[in-house]
Amino acid sequence: MKSSVLRGLWLGIDILALAATVSALMYIAFTFAARELALTGQVLVFLSIAMLSSVPLLMTRYHVLCGVIFIALLVSIDQIDQVKFAATLTRLHPSDWFVATHFMRDFDYSIAVQYHRQLRVLHWALGILAVAAPILWACERAAIRNIRPWRAPAGSFAAAIVATFMCFTALLHSQYLRALAGFHDADLQWAYNGLRISSVVLQVGQLTRMDREIKSLQAEARDFGLLLAPASATAATCGTAGCPDIVIVHLESVFDPVLLADYRATGGYLGQMEKKSSAASKSGLLRVHTWGGASWISEFAVLCGVDPTIFGLAGAQPHLNLSRYVKNCLPNYLKRLGYETHAVYTSYWNFVGVGAGFERYGIDDFIDIRRIKGAPTDWRLQRDKFFIDEARRILAQPSRQPRFIFVSTNWNHSPHGQGSHLETYPGPFDIGKASDGSTRDYVNRLNDTFTEMAKLERDLTARGKPIVMLFYGDHHPAFVKKYAPDLPADPYVRTDVLTFYRFARSYGPAGASPHATLWIEELPTRFLEFAGIPLPPAMATIRALREKCNNTDARCPRSEEHTSELQSLAYL
């Protein structure tokens, strides 16, 4: 009698555990569904998550353990999505998996350290799972042997997979998802309240169609006669100015502090650099396509002169997704002019496809962090001088050819204001004016960057050989800023996507007045004009088209916007 009572008690506990697991999964399905923007999407997402949850429950007889692991996985992904959106205003993307695997392969956990405070819920979820999983396994193992009389019907696991596939397919092809495809994450900030399943499904669907859609655009561009063959090496010349050495410096997470209320009266980075430099120069504000991260988007735009966002989600990882199509990026063009092409990079060759991507763009010598003498692999210690000194080393080597060098930096990468940089660096900006810790940290590191770039510009200008330089900020760092209230309003551009660019050369007359604000993909065209180097045919075509639209896509008629995309495919 006592044995049967205990058996019934344990059976009841087992049933309650299963019921609690199923209830938790249904609650999560309901939570995810409630985040959708219309009833149709809510119903489809609830059914999709409910069916997906049934797969781990039916996969083995360890229903509770598999269910708890699945719950922890969903909670973890949701937390990562929230942290990414807070830092970059973009949701999780399928290609983020490549980023994660590269970090894990290289045993680089700096990203987890960087956002450890924001990922507390994730840490708790994983910690609880690590403790609970062995206990659940032991309890369920005993229950399966002694008291659990049932097992899932034959074929139920396969049926769950089929039902899940059908639900997600219905969501993928729904009118709701087609309507959602017309929005960008930044347009839906007001609606953000966590991971949205429809966004993930939409991204996967678009990526599966990416190759077909790009080839379709290529065919259409070819019909218009826009896919021009690259000019032959014998036809390419540098023009009357000869072939100067070229250095492009990618300033990581840098914008001009003149945008900030605390530093509005300082003249800013560009104003202070004009005072320090004797080089002929042009400069201005720069509109970029990313915020808080994803520097590879800016790298692609600068090296290839194309806005990667016109390719939809494929443009979120251009080195991985678009580089195999490109044929006429800036380094390839310069190689036809006889240039050596080098890149100095702050990370590893295989990070998110950058090494292979740069090679396709025309970079013959990719110098990653492992080849830079004395440079730390920890990005939090990577002062600009390590990478600038490597560029100096290349320029100091004897060569009969002009050199093109792309230099990546990492010194002002987030986070800011967490006490990670205690040393105070000299420079033109008084860190005492900063009204918060993040701004103080940013300006302190910017002082070090300014000093290094001013010295580079001064030294290269005086070296006695023609050289032209481009410095540009790739995006804003991820912290809240107090912008000056008197900034000119622009209905087409948010302040937090405005950085700056600076052209400087050691030859020719002084530059004219600063350019108007440029899109980042315009930089290679304007830079070659400043250097006195003729434009390749594709760049000249796009330049003419943009002039028809007053150099702003927002004022172009719709038909011309479409033509602009096709013209951009002259590079592909």
Span between the terminal Cα atoms of the chain, in Å: 80
pLDDT digit string, tens, across residues 80-113: 887 777 666 667 766 676 667 766 766 666 566 6
What is the DSSP secondary-structure string of 269-318?
A: HHHHHHHH--SEEEEEEEE-S-SSS-HHHHHHHHHH---GGGGGGGGGSH
- Annotate 227-272 with DSSP letters as a single string: -PPPPPGGG----TT---EEEEEEETT---GGGBGGGGGG-HHHHH
Using DSSP's 3-state secondary structure scheme, residue 438 falls into helix
CB 493 within 8 A of CB 201: no
Looking at residue 344, the DSSP 8-state letter turns out to be E
Q: Which amino acid is at 487?
A: L
CA 260 vs. chain centroid, Å, equals 24
Q: Name 519's bridge partners.
A: 287
Between CA 283 and CA 511 the distance in angstroms is: 9
Per-residue pLDDT of the chain (572 residues; tens, 9 = 90+): 556 666 667 677 777 888 888 898 899 899 988 888 888 888 999 999 999 988 888 887 788 888 888 888 888 888 888 777 766 666 776 667 666 776 676 666 656 665 666 677 777 777 878 888 888 888 878 877 777 666 777 788 889 899 999 998 898 888 888 777 655 444 444 456 677 888 788 777 766 776 676 777 667 666 655 555 554 444 456 655 578 999 999 999 999 988 888 888 788 888 888 888 878 888 888 999 887 778 889 999 999 888 887 776 677 788 888 888 887 889 999 998 999 999 999 888 877 788 889 999 999 999 988 888 888 877 778 889 999 999 999 999 988 899 999 999 988 887 777 655 568 888 888 888 888 888 889 999 999 999 999 999 988 888 888 999 999 998 888 887 888 887 776 655 678 888 999 999 888 776 655 667 888 988 999 999 888 888 887 777 777 777 766 555 444 555 555 566 666 665 66
Q: Where are the beta strands (DSSP E) in 321-466?
A: 340-344, 365-367, 403-408
Strands, DSSP E only, in 390-507?
403-408, 467-473, 498-505
Task: Count how many Cα atoms sit within 13 Å of the Cα of residue 211 in the half-sphere of its side chain.
Answer: 3
Enter the pTM of the model. 0.76
Nearest CA to 278 among 473, 509, 471, 451?
509
